[in-house]
A and B are shown apart, each in its own frame.
Chain A
Amino acid sequence: MRSKNLISIFFAFVLLVSIIPTGFVTAATPTAEQVNDYSLEVASFVKEKCHGSCENVVILGDDYVVPSFRRDIKWLNWYYFVPWLQDSKVDKILTDIGYVQRSEMEFSNLYALVTKQLDGANFEGKNILIIVPDSLSTEQRRAINDLKSEFETQFKSHFSEKKGSEVYCNDPQLWNNMNGYTLIVIGTEENNYAFNCFPFQAGLENRDAAFIDINPWDGRNYAIILNTNDDLIIKIFTQFIHDETYKGIRSETAYFFKIGTKVAVYSAITLAVLSGVGAAAGFAGAGALAVTANVVNVAADAAVVTDSCYYDSYKYGESWGGCVKDAVIVIVLPKVLEKTTKYVISNVLVYFSKFGDDVIRVFKSPGTDSVFKDGTRAAGTAVLREGTESWGWKHILLRGHNNEIKTAFNLIDNDKAVKDFIAESLGNGIKNSKGEIVYEKLINGHTKKILIIIGKDLDKLGAIISAYPVT
């Protein structure tokens, strides 16, 4: 069975090599970053083909055919005749570390990963070695201490700590010192050399994300890797543990997007957009996705999404989704986020952040255009903004139009139902000569009508000024 797998991987490799994009490998001098991208792609391909069942992977061909991963590694040098002397130097190496079969462990298994089950419901915490940057800000230190406390409370963990500068991928002593430990690695490759040993999780493209992988110094234990210098991301991860959110994450990765104080709005939108992005990022162009009204139409209601988690099991047949915590949106996908997807999500965030700080929801609205803060237009959209007592959502609430809409259209008694109905009306209504959107619906034998007044001024173009039922 295993040899069958190996054979199939070999042929898959041959196929892959034969379809290598010509613009890439034929480039006279590809950059290290280009080579690494390709190397990681190949590694993902191998992993995909293995389905976790490959014990060994045989690579046929040299670096020109199957490029090795380029990495600046801090090396420890020993001197044969004076073994007590050693020094370190940073050098670029070609490594096959990317092809080493990695963890399929998910965050939902975190409990099993950091504890040992005793009898019955009793358990004891495993030893955890936390590897942190040499220099930490007060906030980072506090966040890390809180994380440790949370692990101690939840999992009875026993902690020891190591500085990032003391970690070398090739240090034989670490094979003893780190054996039997679950690792928590925090920082970036710039301030924590342990990241050299985690090529999949290192790098700017993986910044502000949490991963689970094998402890490279002990194949039986795992490592939790937080690629971030941001204390807020560490705090959010701690919250994940505290409120047991991790139990719902059937993935080895969680991406954190810091999006400012108006989290609810943008993150709600992003989470919703993700349903489109996640499925389509591999096929559609980033720009196209970021600006289509179809994408914004799935934007969920901010109030509902805030402080709640989305998990969806049908997109990939695996868990994807996310959470909104404080000023961070956490996005979870069943696999390492491709660069394209992350780029799309980032772009979408930028896109929505352009609408303004008071955006509640963006609607698909074929009859209207709305405008960003920077003046660019989004065709086929309308925006519900907080507004004031004279326009927007505040106005709708103040004047009781929300209750009128609820009663007239027999809606559930909550604001989300009203916003959903506005979405339905904008999507299906007709634009009248005054630029208002009129939508009629038969409710219990009555024809009910809603009028939605849309902003015309440049600073409110496409913004909902008012909405109320009419006879």
Chain B
Amino acid sequence: MIKKLLITGIEPWAVENPKNIRTASLSVKVNNGKTLNAFVPNWDYLNFEGMSLDEIKALLVGKTIKAELQLYVLNLKKISNPKITPNVTQTGSTTKLIGRIINLIGPFFYKLDGKSTKFKYFYSDLDCGGTIINVQLSESEIKKYNLKVGDYIEAEGRLDIKLKKILNDKEMEKDKKNEKH
């Protein structure tokens, strides 16, 4: 689910030289006021090569973006106790979440070398206490845990941010007005 997020900071991760940051993590404020750090896996495609951190900060910090938060899942399990409060916690570069499945979109077919395989996957949005985070679930995982909308899952992994659009000043102004109303 693409959401509007406010960038509050940037932390370079992989840096070839001060003018060539190769990967970075963004601090973003989500709807409920919570700030999360999310890795940008496709940073190179933002074409910031030749720009210093300060120059990039000037371009991004304080800007509203349209983006999707996605957990690159390393560990996943279904939770049978629905009383557990959904939330997101972060330690270093690891994010842990407990979320309720609010939708399952798919199936899509995995591709390998550009060709479709017989293996299917689904996109699922998880409500983690007001923060919506997307995970990609394979058909085998869905079958294994018998997952359906409304179920709670616990997952741990790397929180990625997939930038779709940086809003320009006009769009941001319009956005603010809409919020007031």
CA distance A460 to B140 in the complex (A): 41
Give every chain A residue within 8 A of B138 (Cβ-Cβ). 445-446
Asked if A407 meets B75 with Cβ closer than 8 Å, knowing A395-B13, A466-B14, the reply is yes
CB distance from B53 to the nearest CB of A (A): 11
- Mostly, the A contact residues are mixed
Q: B158: nearest residue on chain A (CB-CB)?
A: A404
Q: Does A468 contact B (CB under 8 A)?
A: yes
Q: B114: nearest residue on chain A (CB-CB)?
A: A440
CB distance from B175 to the nearest CB of A (A): 28
Q: Which of A209-217, A293-301, A365-373, A449-457 contacts B (4 or more CB under 8 A)?
A: A449-457
CA distance A440 to B121 in the complex (A): 16
Q: A446: nearest residue on chain B (CB-CB)?
A: B138
Give every chain A residue within 8 A of B102 (Cβ-Cβ). none
A446 and B16 form a contact (CB under 8 A): no
CA distance A395 to B92 in the complex (A): 13
Q: Does A442 contact B (CB under 8 A)?
A: yes
Q: Does A53 contact B (CB under 8 A)?
A: no
A446 and B72 form a contact (CB under 8 A): no
CB distance from B120 to the nearest CB of A (A): 9
Q: Does A444 contact B (CB under 8 A)?
A: yes
Give every chain A residue within 8 A of B136 (Cβ-Cβ). 471
Q: How large is the interface on A (under 10, 10 to 19, 20 to 34, 35 or more residues)?
A: 20 to 34
B20 and A456 form a contact (CB under 8 A): yes
A447 and B119 form a contact (CB under 8 A): yes
CB distance from B73 to the nearest CB of A (A): 9
B74 and A407 form a contact (CB under 8 A): yes
Binary contact track A421-438/B, C-beta < 8 Å → 1, others 0: 000000000000010100
Q: A451: nearest residue on chain B (CB-CB)?
A: B41
Q: Does A375 contact B (CB under 8 A)?
A: no
CA distance A468 to B159 in the complex (A): 13
Give every chain B residue within 8 A of A456 (Cβ-Cβ). 16, 20
Q: Does B93 contact A (CB under 8 A)?
A: yes
B140 and A465 form a contact (CB under 8 A): no
A471 and B14 form a contact (CB under 8 A): no
Give every chain A residue within 8 A of B111 (Cβ-Cβ). 447
Q: Does A408 contact B (CB under 8 A)?
A: yes
Tell which of A400, A440, A455, A466 touches B23, judged by Cβ atoms closer than 8 Å: A466
CA distance A85 to B76 in the complex (A): 93
Q: Does B17 contact A (CB under 8 A)?
A: yes
Give every chain B residue within 8 A of A469 (Cβ-Cβ). 72
Q: A444: nearest residue on chain B (CB-CB)?
A: B140
Asked if A391 meets B117 with Cβ closer than 8 Å, knowing A407-B75, A466-B23, the reply is no
Tell which of B16, B42, B110 touches A447, judged by Cβ atoms closer than 8 Å: B110
Q: Does B22 contact A (CB under 8 A)?
A: yes
Q: Does B12 contact A (CB under 8 A)?
A: yes
CA distance A442 to B115 in the complex (A): 12
Q: Does A141 contact B (CB under 8 A)?
A: no
Binary contact track A396-416/B, C-beta < 8 Å → 1, others 0: 000110011001100000000
Q: Does B44 contact A (CB under 8 A)?
A: yes
Q: Does A470 contact B (CB under 8 A)?
A: yes
Q: Does A390 contact B (CB under 8 A)?
A: yes
CA distance A471 to B70 in the complex (A): 10
Give every chain B residue within 8 A of A465 (Cβ-Cβ). 14, 16, 22
Q: Does B15 contact A (CB under 8 A)?
A: yes
CA distance A453 to B170 in the complex (A): 36
Q: How many A-B residue pairs have CB under 8 A?
A: 83
Give every chain A residue within 8 A of B94 (Cβ-Cβ). 400
CA distance A444 to B138 in the complex (A): 10
Give every chain A residue within 8 A of B112 (Cβ-Cβ). 440-442, 447
CB distance from A159 to the nearest CB of B (A): 59
B119 and A457 form a contact (CB under 8 A): no
CB distance from B96 to the nearest CB of A (A): 13
Binary contact track A233-272/B, C-beta < 8 Å → 1, others 0: 0000000000000000000000000000000000000000
CB distance from B180 to the nearest CB of A (A): 36
CA distance A465 to B45 in the complex (A): 16
Q: B113: nearest residue on chain A (CB-CB)?
A: A440
Q: B120: nearest residue on chain A (CB-CB)?
A: A445
Asked if A453 meets B23 with Cβ closer than 8 Å, knowing A440-B112, A469-B72, the reply is yes
CA distance A445 to B13 in the complex (A): 31
A446 and B121 form a contact (CB under 8 A): yes
A436 and B44 form a contact (CB under 8 A): yes
Asked if A391 meets B113 with Cβ closer than 8 Å, knowing A407-B74, A445-B140, the reply is no
Asked if A460 meets B16 with Cβ closer than 8 Å, knowing A444-B140, A446-B138, the reply is yes
CB distance from B102 to the nearest CB of A (A): 20
Asked if A391 meets B16 with Cβ closer than 8 Å, knowing A442-B117, A466-B23, A470-B41, the reply is yes
A442 and B16 form a contact (CB under 8 A): no
Of residues 87 through 110 on chain B, the ones whose CB sits less than 8 Å from some CB of chain A are 92-94, 110
Q: Does B139 contact A (CB under 8 A)?
A: yes
Give every chain A residue within 8 A of B157 (Cβ-Cβ). 404
B14 and A395 form a contact (CB under 8 A): yes
B16 and A457 form a contact (CB under 8 A): yes
CA distance A408 to B93 in the complex (A): 16
* Besides A390-B15, A434-B45, A446-B119, 16 other A-B contacts (C-beta < 8 A): A391-B22, A399-B14, A399-B93, A400-B158, A407-B74, A441-B112, A444-B140, A446-B121, A446-B140, A447-B110, A456-B20, A457-B17, A460-B16, A465-B22, A468-B158, A470-B72
Q: B residues engaging A (CB < 8 A)?
A: 12-17, 20, 22-23, 41-42, 44-45, 70, 72, 74-75, 92-94, 110-113, 117, 119, 121, 136, 138-140, 157-158, 160
A-B contact pairs, 14 of them (CB 8 A): A390-B12, A390-B13, A390-B15, A391-B14, A399-B93, A404-B74, A407-B75, A446-B140, A453-B23, A456-B16, A465-B14, A466-B22, A471-B72, A471-B160
